[in-house]
Structure 1
Amino acid sequence: MADSTWRKSSYSGSNGGQCVELAHTRAHLLVRDSKNPDGPVLGFGHEAFAGFVTALKNA
């Protein structure tokens, strides 16, 4: 994970708001708190995360 490229939304701005960052690995999509980059990281399979995003869009 140390060599992962982390990205966050361009809408997050630079005011230190509450944001998450995402990174891709071959098998997972990783999610972490942008304010705590050394904190815990959640890992999701790509299909599971795609299903989550689809559910959000349809909510």
Structure 2
Amino acid sequence: MWGSMLLALGTGLVIGVVFQTLRIPSPAPPFLGLLGLLGMFLGQRLVPWIKVWLDHRGQ
């Protein structure tokens, strides 16, 4: 998992340097869009934990 995250971060950094060097405007979403993506990511991570918690609570 960490390998994928580091690969994605590294790729993003390289693309950012290329875009800045070529003076290409970034296609990244505005800050609120990034917050929405963070919420989606956290929601996906929470569901398995909630399921486990409910299973242990029901026993």
TM-score using structure 1 length: 0.38
Relative contact order higher in (CA < 8 Å, ≥ 6 apart)? 1
Select the structure that is richer in strand. 1
TM-score using structure 2 length: 0.38
